[in-house]
Amino acid sequence: MPREAEGTPGENATSDRSKEDYVNALTPDALLFAPGTGILYSNFGFDLLAQALANAGSEPYPDLLKERVLDPAGLKDTRFDLTEADKVRTMQGHNFDGSPMPFVATSPMIVGAGGLYSTTNDMLRWLDWHLDRFAAA
């Protein structure tokens, strides 16, 4: 699978990819290595997996993720779409020069590979869950 679905040059990769971009990215390309002999990370693959899970679950991936993962884990402030009120409580990324990165709307086509925002408290709750290897649940 390609790393990303290619689109029109200049597009915002996190918000402007379309279903057609993904379909076009499935055109046959020469293999980089024989199957089973190497790996290559693919945002495209995770986006495709999210679409498959959404189809299997009969609901959009963000709703499925919220229902099956975020809510049971108590992550009430982790979401794809932020309101202005959410932005003041949400962890913000920073560029290499230290400047804050903007919050970018997430296209439904890229929810498998990114665009999920969270608060510090939710991130700590998620880490606590992962670190509690003796938990019953």
Q: Is residue 90 part of a domain?
A: yes
Q: What phi and psi values does residue 61 have, to the nearest 5 degrees?
A: -55, -45
pLDDT tens digits, residue range 69-94?
999 989 999 998 888 888 888 888 89
* CATH assignment of the domain containing 125: 3.40.710.10
Tokens representing residue 95 in the block:
């560029």
Domain count, the chain: 1
For residue 66 the two structure tokens come to: 């919220």
Residue with tokens 């932005």: 87
Q: Which residue range forms the structural domain that includes residue 76?
A: 19-131
Residue 126 lies inside a defined structural domain of this protein: yes
**pLDDT of the residue at 135:** 72
Determine whether 16 is exposed, middle or buried from the number of CB atoms within 10 Å of its CB (0-12, 13-18, 19+). middle
Task: Quote the pTM value.
Answer: 0.76
In a domain, 9, yes or no: no
**Residue 7 resides in a domain:** no
Confidence band of 8 (pLDDT split at 50, 70, 90): low
> CA triplet 71, 59, 104: central angle to 5 degrees?
70
Collapsing DSSP states into helix, strand and coil, what is residue 90?
strand
What SS3 state is found at 122? helix
Q: Closest Cα partner for 54 from 19, 27, 17?
A: 19
pLDDT in tens, 96-125: 999 998 888 788 888 998 888 999 999 999
Residue 76 lies in a domain: yes
Query: Does residue 63 belong to any structural domain of this protein?
Result: yes
The answer to whether residue 102 is domain-embedded is yes
Residue 33: inside a domain: yes
Per-residue confidence band for 14, with pLDDT thresholds at 50, 70 and 90:
low
